[in-house]
Amino acid sequence: MTTKYKVGTEKDYSVRTCAWSAPGCHPTGCGLIMHVKDGKLVEVEGDPDHPVSQGRVCVRCLSLPEVIYHPDRILYPMKRAGKKGENKWERITWDEAYDIIVEKVRYYQENYGLTSIAMMGGTGREATFYFPALSYAVLQTPNNVGVLSGLSCYGPRCAVTEYVLGAGYPEIDYAAYFPDRYDNPEFQLPEYIMIWGKSPLESNADGFFGHAIIDMMKRGTKIIAVDPRVTWLTSRAEYHLQIRPGTDAALALGMLNVIINEDLYDHEFVEKWTFGLDKLAERVQEYPPKKVADICWIKEETLVNAARAFAKAGNSSIQWGVALDMNWNGIQAIQAVLYLMVLTGNIDVPGGNTLAEPSSFMGKWRYETHHQIPEEIYEQRIGNEEFPFFNYGLMACSPDNTLDFFEKQQPYPVKMVWSNSQNPIANAACVPKRWHEAFKKIEFWVSQEIFMTPTVSAYADIVLPVATFAEHEGVVIPHFGRNSAFVGAINQCIERVGECKSDLEICFELGKRLNPKAWPWETVSEFFTEQIKEKTGLTYPELKDKVVQQQKYVYRKYEKGMLRSDGEPGFETLTGLIELKATIFESWGEDPLPYFKEPPFSPYSTPDLYAEYPLVLTTGGRKFTSFHSEHRQIPSLRQITPWPTVEIHPDTASELGIMDGDWVCIENHLGKCRMKALVQPTVHPKVVHALHGWWYPEQDGAEPNLFGTFKSNINMLMPHKKVGNLGLGANYKSNLCKVYKVSGLDD
């Protein structure tokens, strides 16, 4: 019974594993010890031997048993029993479910073409790792789509990095590659970490273990925070640039102006490894610090001092967040922040920003599966005519065009949707009521889920139960292979509850029925061995025993010919250098140099609207207690965060007659929703901050209530298709609104 990762007797034992999903989390892969009694998971605690998490666990994993044994969990495949939206279901077998699905897929493929099916997914979870393959190699549709306007999460940061710098995600160096971590002689503690538009402690985004920031602060690292809110973390920062939401690009250009004009940049690095400094230097003259400070609603002095401190410091890093993507000016904000890393010489050096290949591990496999679709069909992806960048620069579909396609069923019809790892009408979709009407036009809908959600209830014909990470075998790779300090084993800990299956098992089984040539493996174990062997030297059973396998890291790879496919020194870009003028952007209809553009709805771009809606609305700050719209039904977590809140400055609240804890309505020209007021001096008096992803699993799930999904959904106030020139970036974090007191969640 005892293996290297499992100790105990047949029924009472402990398993060492790495976490992922379901339920939702990023591929952070924290190390856990799962205590099982009488076959049931009774307690989760941290694995002290995990090199990164070192025994630490957040409340979401601690409450995993409440997820697994929750009375509302979906345990069996089901088909719709009543009308769509009645939330009535009938249990079926997996075989029946697959039979129905195969018949429908074949019918739509034959009658409407491969493009008539869409694979639709969300963010971060294990399913996201496999849905390109589910789309291309199982359902054989080029339409691997999402709802997030402007694809404004992660994708823009990765795309800009890939084209400007020719590498994967530039994560901050937190010594995660080294077994002895911060004590490793090659590692150097960053003097500053600039945290820009991110809540790393709560989010652990994309596989970065958030509390590593605390580790480094304890050792002496100082923080420069760019955040429209005061948070616990910014209260401990040396500089806090509390900018007006949506002005990130201006701030970064202003900082570049200081660094270039005061000659604070790293000459040696910039002269040898970059291209186009003269053009960038010209451009930043349009952004003098005084002007930028006025745009951003901050003090000129703070901007200048922070820029100087960062540029003059020893090795330092920048951790950027989704706030940069969530901006129609996001590409430029990302580009300018990347240039801050570059001009200060903090790329690929100890304590700076680390780099890896754009895609490694399964990253390669999952995208190469698109060869399962004929090239001419692949090119018919939704939206790539309007936005050529989606055709050449990114392997994705435009989410905004997806809504247009679904609504009009033009220029070609979309008849079937496969939905996983998402709950779009509760979260992510702008104009959720428009999406709701568009989704109702989809004839056949399959959802993979662990709980009934507004989305499943409203549209699904078939629901497939997903296994939690305690119930299946898997691997977890931080940053999805784009900068992965380690590979972790997800070791199955308990017998499955009900008949749930993992995302990969569903791909396998349906893949073997629909497109067997792409699914030659007999077992998931065989598949994982093939995926990890080359990089780690391990088979999957060996990885399971080791639980975590760290990767080696080499600094200054650009000097050693390790970033280019031809083995030459430099970077994998057109010029072989980091492009401070990104020439390639021109061919996609974008300015090659960064610039600032006001958000579509703001005090300056729409003064008339501002007169009516006199507050700037930002959204989406993270909580420890949820992953986007998930975890709302988990008792321990809901107790900690019982209601959605909107943060309001005390002066503003008092003018509006609002007290802390009052129910308020947040409204603008597009829509409204209700939350509780959180009155505290953490936002500018003209700014409010609202939480995202709220719905009420305890309420009636049938139409029209749909678990109250339209009641507290902040995206009711978000515009459709206000995106950047490349089709990327949308202003989820900078809109306008007014706030007034109401009697409750309902009248």
Query: What is the contact surface with ligand SF4 in residues (CB under 6 A)?
Result: 19, 25, 28, 30, 57-58, 60-61, 204
Residues in contact with other proteins, total (CB under 8 A)? 38
Which of 184, 200, 215, 199 is CA-nearest to residue 55? 215
Q: Which entry of other proteins, ligand SF4, none binds 515, CB below 5 to 8 A by partner kind?
A: none
Q: How far is the CB of 232 from other proteins (least distance, A)?
A: 5
Cβ closest to ligand SF4, residue 60 vs residue 684: 60
User: Is 431 in contact with 721 (CB distance < 8 Å)?
Assistant: no
Instruction: Indicate which of other proteins, ligand SF4, none lies near residue 19 (CB less than 5 to 8 Å, by partner kind).
Output: ligand SF4
List the structure tokens of 390.
Answer: 């989606």
Instruction: Copy the structure tokens of residue 676.
Output: 């509780």
Contact 274, 347 (CB under 8 A): no
Q: Which stretch binds other proteins (CB under 8 A): 269-277, 413-421, 676-684, 691-699?
A: 676-684
Smallest distance, Å, CB 639 to other proteins?
6
- DSSP per-residue string spanning 17-65: EE---SS---TT--EEEEEEETTEEEEEEE-TT-TTTTT---HHHHTHH
Q: Which does 44 bind (CB under 5 to 8 A by kind): ligand SF4, other proteins, none?
A: other proteins
> Which among other proteins, ligand SF4, none contacts residue 63 (Cβ within 5 to 8 A by kind)?
other proteins
Neighbours of 37 (CB within 10 A): 13
198 binds, among other proteins, ligand SF4, none (CB under 5 to 8 A by kind): none
Closest separation between CB of residue 225 and other proteins, Å? 11
Residue 638's identity, in one-letter code, is R
Strand partners, 447: 419, 463
Residue 94 main-chain phi, psi, to 5 deg: -60, -40
Pick what 110 binds: other proteins, ligand SF4, none; C-beta below 5 to 8 Å, kind-dependent.
none
Q: Least distance in Å: CB of 61 to ligand SF4? A: 3
Among 39, 48, 541, 589, interactor with other proteins by CB under 8 A: 48
Question: Residues 68, 470: contact at Cβ < 8 Å?
Answer: yes
Residue 682 contacts which entry, ligand SF4, other proteins, none (Cβ below 5-8 A, type-dependent): other proteins
Contact 341, 317 (CB under 8 A): yes
Tokens read off for 584 = 């390639």
Least separation, in Å, of the C-beta of 397 and other proteins?
Answer: 37
Binding-site member from 15, 36, 52, 57 for other proteins (CB under 8 A) = 57
Question: Is 259:344 a contact under the CB 8 Å cutoff?
Answer: yes
Which lies closer to ligand SF4 via its Cβ, residue 639 or residue 743? Answer: 639
Residue 636 touching other proteins (CB under 8 A):
yes
Q: According to the 3-state scheme, what is the secondary structure of 559-603?
A: HCCCCCCCCCCCCCCCCCCEECCCHHHHHCCCCCCCCCCCCCCCC
- Tell me which of 18, 44, 311, 356 binds other proteins, using CB under 8 A: 44
When asked if residue 699 is in the footprint of other proteins (CB under 8 A), the reply is no
Which three-class secondary structure string do you get for 347-380?
ECCCCCECCCCCCCCHHHHHHHHHHHCCHHHHCC
For other proteins, the binding residue among 123, 319, 419, 625 (CB under 8 A) is 625
Under the criterion CB under 8 A, does residue 232 sit at the interface with other proteins? yes
Region of 18-26, 380-388, 544-552, 632-640 interacting with other proteins (CB under 8 A): 632-640
Q: Which of 40, 45, 92, 182 binds other proteins (CB under 8 A)?
A: 45
The tokens for 385 are: 């005519």
Give the amino acid at 566: D
The interface partner of residue 25, options being ligand SF4, other proteins, none and the CB cut-off 5 to 8 Å by kind, is ligand SF4
Q: How far is CA 302 from CA 133, 312, 649, in A?
A: 48, 15, 22
Q: Of 28 and 329, which has the nearer Cβ to other proteins?
A: 28
Between 73 and 722, name the residue whose CB sits nearer to ligand SF4.
73
Backbone angles phi, psi at 416, to 5 degrees: -135, 140
Phi/psi at 476 (5° precision): -130, 130
Phi/psi of residue 487, nearest 5 degrees? -115, 130
What residue ranges bind other proteins (CB under 8 A)? 43-46, 48, 54-59, 62-63, 65, 201-202, 210-211, 214-215, 217-218, 230, 232-235, 240, 302, 624-625, 635-636, 639-640, 680-682
